[in-house]
Structures are given as C-alpha cells and as structure tokens.
Amino acid sequence: MHKKSSLNQKIWKKPKIKRDRIQMMT
C-alpha cells in the first residue's frame, strides 16, 4: 500500500492531462 501511495503521488505531480487519463483508468 505504501508503494502505491508513492506511485500515486508521483502521478499527481505529472501534467493534468496525465492525471485525467489515470483517473479514467482507476
């Protein structure tokens, strides 16, 4: 779970477009 949190934080730091794509995937 901790590793996933770290990955999520990295994703949130990425451009908004990537965030939108990730949100659609989750």
Q: Is the pLDDT of residue 11 over 60?
A: yes
Residue type for position 17: I
Share of the chain above pLDDT 70, in %: 12
Q: In terms of C-beta density within 10 A (0-12 exposed, 13-18 middle, 19 or more buried), how is residue 11 classed?
A: middle
Per-residue pLDDT at 6: 73
Q: CB atoms < 10 A from the CB of 19, how many? A: 13
Query: For 3-25, what is the mean pLDDT?
Result: 68
Greatest CA separation found in the chain? 25
Query: For 6-26, what is the mean pLDDT?
Result: 67
pTM of the model: 0.23
Q: Which two tokens stand for residue 19?
A: 């965030």
Per-residue pLDDT at 16: 66
pLDDT confidence of 9, banded at 50, 70, 90? confident
